Structures are given as structure tokens and as C-alpha cells.
Amino acid sequence: MKTSITTVVASALMATTSLAADFQTRSVEFMNEGATLAGTLYLPVDHEPGDTLPMVVITGAWTSVEQQMPAVYAREMVMRGFAAFTFDFRGWGRSGDLPQNVRFKEDPAAKTSDIRAAIRYVSSLPDVDTARINGLGICASAGYMVDAVSGNPIVHAVGLVAPWLQNKALVNAVYGGEKAVSDLIEVSRNAEAKGGEIIPAAGPEGADGVLMPIGGYYYEPSRGAIPEYDNKWNQASWEGWLTYYPADNPQRLDKPLAVVHSQSAAIPQGVRAFLDGYAGQATLRMLENVTQFDFYDNPEDVTRAADTVAEHFRTAGNR
């Protein structure tokens, strides 16, 4: 691995078009594996038909919808001269269901497939420079993004912000040890047998029967608890999630990589494990005292992360 480390202190249906101060959006639909997915294309407000822009496909944290952290970073990318694309995975938000009408299931394989479909979709758009399509994965979807872009000739480069890159050891450490992990896998299998079991995704600190009983981003209406957020978790998710080890498979990635993370954010050990096995060109920027949720919507930290990945997308392949 060649790593540059910087440490810092402190078939489409166009449905609607809306304008904001510095960007315009177009609501679109595309297909994957028989389901209709809802997405949003972000372009500069002064974008002219016939002009092409480098593209960034952006995906967010587990249980999230496109209007949360993906939309935040989409606006940042447009401000830096890119087109951007966000979407809801199958089973979430405005998109159609997974097979057997399953929803709210954190399914790494399905989400990876959806990202590949989104990349194919944007490559068909007249607004996109098809030689400069990039992927940006945030938190849990970092692993899915790596899987989706690896070996994909359509993709130019990849960026990861606050990536949750786990392996078996980290899964055991985070979820209470081998016995606790085994118990959650049993919960998952029981839920699967019943066709799913839905619980709230977010709740106040210490709440019972909630995936994330921690308050904060997903629980605060001024942050992630927006009307579009499903705030649901299918207990059948556990087995697929707990046996998904993206930190163990860096060798599959064949794209230039930029990572922005912090020792104060979630499992930075996973980033180190991934980079230790990555043979390509990587830029790692570690910010100080930035929490996982700060990366989702804190303006200063989002700006620094967006600056790093935008510069990477501009210069990748030129070094």
C-alpha cells in the first residue's frame, strides 16, 4: 500500500426538478433485480444541457435514507464542481422491496447490487462524464461501495468517509463477544423464519427494544430524525451484517482510494486493517476529535471530508 497520511487538528423517469441556492435536483427512478429504486440527481444550478460533469455516487450509513448524510455530501460535491447521485436502497425509503416484500433489512449483498445498478444508471445520463464516475461510501456503506466498485470498469476512483470496515474480531468487540454475536445470529434466523421482525432503529439513550438506544443523530429531528427516515430495523438483518467482514478483503479494490476518518469515530482499527492489505494508491486523512455522527452533518467536519475526497477524485490517476 502507498498511503499519504494527513493529520488535521481541530430506465429512468424524470419526475420532478427543484432548485436551491447552488444546485438543482431531479428525482429519478431506475431498476435493479425487478424492483424500482428512487434516486436524486444533483447538478449545479447553472448546469446547461449538453454539458458533462464528473459524477459522484453517494451512499450512507446503515438504516439511512438518501435525504440524510448522502444528501449533505451530494450538495458538497456539487459545490466542488461535480454532479452527484443519491438513492434509497431496496427495502428503504421510497424504493421498492427486496424479494418476498422484505423491507428494512440491512443486506450487504443486496445493497452492493443496488450500488452497481446506480453506477450503471448514472453512466447512461447525458449530464455525466463517463470517464469520471466516482463512488463515495459513508459509514456502513463504505464496505458495500468497495465491493461495488472493485473490478468495475465504469468507476474512476473511490472515497470513504467515516468508514465502518469490520472483521470478525471487531464484530466480537463491538457486539459483546462471541456468545452475544451468536445470540444475535439466532435472533436473525428466527426473524427470517417469521418473514421478518421490525423494531425501531433509533431511540433515546438506554431505551429497550431499539437497535440504537443512544439518542443523537438518528433521534434528533434537527439532524437525522427527518420525516423521510424510516427509523426501522428488521431483526433478520443480523446474520448478514455480523458475518460481513469488509476489512478482510482490501485486495479486491483496484481503484485509487481516499479515506477520511478520526480516532474518535467508529472502529478506526478497521481502517488500519483495510489499508494494511490494500496494494493501491491511498490517501488517508485522520481528523482529530471528530465523532461518527459529526461526519454526517457537522458543517466543519463535512467540509473537510468533502474537500479531501473531491481533491482525490480530481487528481486520482494523475499522481
Give the Cα separation of 302 and 304 in Å (integer): 6
Four-point Cα dihedral 227, 95, 232, 194, nearest 10:
150
Say if CB 104 and CB 229 are below 8 A apart: no
**Domains in the chain, ordered, with CATH?**
2-171+244-315 (3.40.50.1820)
Task: Extract the runs of DSSP E, i.e. beta strands, from 34-110.
Answer: 35-44, 53-59, 83-87
Nearest to 147 by CA among 243, 229, 239, 254: 254
Give the Cα separation of 186 and 178 in Å (integer): 12
Beta strands 198-200; 232-234: pairing state: antiparallel
pLDDT 10s per residue in the chain (319 long)? Answer: 555 544 333 333 333 344 446 899 999 999 999 999 999 999 999 999 889 999 999 999 999 999 999 999 999 999 999 999 999 999 999 999 999 999 999 999 999 999 999 999 999 999 999 999 999 999 999 999 999 999 999 999 999 999 999 999 999 999 999 999 999 999 999 999 999 999 999 999 999 999 999 999 999 999 999 999 999 999 999 999 999 999 999 999 999 999 999 999 999 999 999 999 999 989 999 999 999 999 999 999 999 999 999 999 999 976 4
What pLDDT shows up at residue 15?
Answer: 35
Say if CB 98 and CB 54 are below 8 A apart: no
Give the Cα separation of 212 and 228 in Å (integer): 18
What pLDDT shows up at residue 114?
Answer: 99
Q: Which helix (H) or strand (E) holds 183?
A: helix 178-193
Give the Cα separation of 287 and 270 in Å (integer): 16
Stated pTM of the model: 0.94
Nearest to 257 by CA among 276, 238, 232: 276
Backbone angles phi, psi at 42, to 5 degrees: -110, 130
Say if CB 260 and CB 5 are below 8 A apart: no
Which alpha helices (H) appear in 44-167, and where do they start and end?
Answer: 69-79, 108-123, 141-149
What pLDDT shows up at residue 281?
Answer: 87
Residues 231-275 pLDDT 10s: 999 999 999 999 999 999 999 999 999 999 999 999 999 999 999
Nearest to 137 by CA among 169, 102, 174, 89: 89
What pLDDT shows up at residue 102?
Answer: 98
Say if CB 103 and CB 234 are below 8 A apart: yes
What pLDDT shows up at residue 215?
Answer: 97
Grid coordinates representing 241 are: 451484517
